[in-house]
């Protein structure tokens, strides 16, 4: 069955035909990050797809994945385009290299999982937290609950671990 919900005032929809995305977000709703593992080449992939982008195999199974990593790149949005985000600026869009499978299939790849910087409860991070994060910052996944069967994976600073002394931030900062 499909999902219709509201998040930050935005209508979110998942069609009942969209079985891969429904499965992905159902695991997120249980606060349990899963990705598809290819039955042929064994590589994980993100986001969910019907076939393996590395070997074309259509066979895969959902497996739990340790969702910790480091920020690969980001943007800090000051002028929101969507009304839902107008009251949340500045907000960060993070592209995070998971530790899991980093450097595979080549040294240039990683599972690069998108999310906003958030507090541990999944709400968008306040400005003072935004200012602490840059390329290299260690993060762990948290979730923004939206509806039964739908939560969005998000990222928060992994406070308990060693961080680079200075994450890379935009030079004008």
Partner 1 sequence: MPMPAETDTTSPKYLRDKYAIVGVGETTYTRGSGITTRALGTWAVRNAIEDSGLKASDVDGMLSYQSGDSTFSTFIAGDLGLRLNFYMDVFGGGSSTEALVGMAMGLMEAGMCKAVVIFRAMNGFSQVRIGGTGARAVAPVSGDALHMRAYGWQSAGQMFAPSFMRHMHDYGTRPEQVAAVKATHSEHASNNPKAFYKKRFTVDEVLASRMICKPLHLLDCCVETDNATAVVVTSADRAKDCRHPRALIRGVVGRCSKPRTDMHYQTGPISTVAGHYAKDILWPNSGVGPEDIDVTGSYDAFTFTTVLQLEDYGFCKKGEGGDHVSNGTIRLGGKRPNNTSGGHLCEGYTHGMNMVIENVRQLRHDADDSCPIGPDGKRQHTYDYREGGCRQVKKCELTANLGWANPGTGSAMVMRRD
C-beta of 50 vs 160, nearer to partner 1: 50
Q: Smallest distance, Å, CB 91 to partner 1?
A: 6
Q: Smallest distance, Å, CB 38 to partner 1?
A: 14
Q: Smallest distance, Å, CB 109 to partner 1?
A: 6
Say if residues 167 and 158 touch (Cβ distance below 8 Å).
no
Distance, CA of 59 to CA of 92 (rounded, Å): 35
Q: How far is CA 123 from the centre of its chain?
A: 14
Tell me the per-residue interface mask from 60 to 89 with partner 1, x by CB under 8 A, - otherwise.
------------xxxxxxxxxxxxxx--x-
Q: Is residue 25 involved in binding partner 1 (CB under 8 A)?
A: yes
Say if residues 155 and 142 touch (Cβ distance below 8 Å).
yes
- Which residues fall within 8 angstroms of residue 67, CB to CB, at 6 or more apart? 33, 98, 100, 113, 140, 141, 153
List 110, 125, 141, 157, residue binding partner 1 (CB under 8 A): 110
Say if residues 138 and 112 touch (Cβ distance below 8 Å).
no
Binding site for partner 1 (CB under 8 A): 7, 10-15, 18, 21, 25, 45-47, 53, 72-85, 88, 91, 93, 95, 106, 108-112, 114-116, 135, 152, 168, 170-172
């Amino acid at each position: 069955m499909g999902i219709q919900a509201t998040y930050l005032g935005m209508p979110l929809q998942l069609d009942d035909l969209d079985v891969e995305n429904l499965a992905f977000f159902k695991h997120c709703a249980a606060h349990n990050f899963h990705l598809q593992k290819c039955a042929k080449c064994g590589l994980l992939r993100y986001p969910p797809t019907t076939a393996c982008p590395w070997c074309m195999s259509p066979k895969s199974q959902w497996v739990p994945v340790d969702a910790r990593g480091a920020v690969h790149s980001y943007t800090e949005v000051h002028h929101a385009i969507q009304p839902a985000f107008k009251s949340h600026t500045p907000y960060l869009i993070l592209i995070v290299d998971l530790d899991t499978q980093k450097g595979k299939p080549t040294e240039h790849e990683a599972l690069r999982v998108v999310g906003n910087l958030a507090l541990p409860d999944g709400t968008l991070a306040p400005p003072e937290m935004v200012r602490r994060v840059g390329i290299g910052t260690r993060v762990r996944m948290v979730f923004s609950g939206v509806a039964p069967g739908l939560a969005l994976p998000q990222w928060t600073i992994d406070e308990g671990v060693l961080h680079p002394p200075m994450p890379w931030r935009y030079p004008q900062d």
